Amino acid sequence: MNLSNTPKIKIALLPGDGIGPEVTEQAIKVMDAVAERYDQHFKYCHADVGAIAIDRHGSPLPEETLEACLNADAIFFGAIGHPKYDNDPSAKVRPEQGLLQLRKSLGLYANIRPVTTYEKLLHLSPLREDRIKGTDMVIFRELTGGIYFGEKGTAKDGQSAFDTCSYRVDEIDRITRLAFEQAMLRRKKVTLVDKANVLETSRLWRSAVKGIAQEYPEVELDFMFVDNAAMQLIQYPSQFDVILTSNMFGDILSDEASVLAGSMGLLPSASVGLHTSMFEPIHGSFPQATGQDIANPMAAILSAAMLLESLELHEAAQSIRTTVQYVLEKGIGTPELKPNIVYGCSKIGDLIAHLVADPEEEILVREDKANQQMSTII
């Protein structure tokens, strides 16, 4: 393969803490397989963030890390968090501050979370299989406005406090267009979740979204109050295609939806920014599993697929998704999936990378009666 004339795509790698470096390593294996198969060239820049950055640099987001992110075509983020900070309420500098600062510095205004169920894993969901079957949605959460960023305060006597929720039309417009563009690639349905019967900001959302919807006549737009949406996510999750909502509602609903698939180790995410975009698995740093090779890297690998899609490498992105689904259908996975064949984190990465590089390969599953277990042949 001759990469001399292939443009280099610069990826800032922020593995972070806990299992972050382990799952990131597997995602990079798969990215390298994509580079081999599709004649691409990824240039990686490793940088510290979170607890490890505090230990090494005294800051959860060193200046050189931010610079690497600003100069990158995309950012891949692992996870942050460490018990020595989590268990110390007096700590003035915390790993999570690095992530918040990164979101602000990059203008990451839209959080995108796909939630997909897999036939082989329906039994892992807390819902009945007939409820969860066919669920395939994407949640678009506005990330830089709303009540989290509005004016707030507490009265001097400590007897009252306030948090102001504020939105501008341009903040609503930019994420709405992303949601409708995504819907055009899917089942052409957008559900706006709000509280327009009570909140003035929700009424502004409805007005702005209705205006943009006129530019997408093929897309069906419906509306749902947030309390009803919370119930519908449990009762009939398969009805949703693209959910569009504000910061706080999206925070709550995306966490609710994250349990539907049965494992957070399967769920990727993207945060779209004004300068560049960041891609990360939704799970945390899971310090208890660090170094044990049991973490599920599939969420990180699927986040890499979202990264590739953002760079318009659609075929490569789909090849990753197809491969992950194929591996799961063969009954292969990390321990928390309770699969027929248990692989460690690194072996899952090796397998998916191998199959992405050579999609003609087939996995044969056989029963080893002597050892009473299943094994695979590639």
- Catalytic, 157? Answer no
Which tokens sit at 255?
């966490």
Residue of 39, 88, 163, 227 with catalytic role: 227
Given 195, 293, 347, 350, the catalytic residue: 195
Q: Which of 48, 194, 251, 343 is catalytic?
A: 251
Considering only the C-alpha atoms of the chain, give the largest distance between any 2 of them, rounded to a whole number of Å.
73
Q: Is 255 a catalytic residue?
A: yes
86 tagged catalytic: no
From 148, 173, 293, 326, active-site residue: 148
- Contact between 129 and 121 under an 8 Å Cβ cutoff? The reply is no
Strands 373-377 and 364-368: antiparallel
Name the active-site residue from 88, 163, 255, 358.
255
User: Is-catalytic flag, 136?
Assistant: no
* Residues identified as active-site: 148, 195, 227, 251, 255
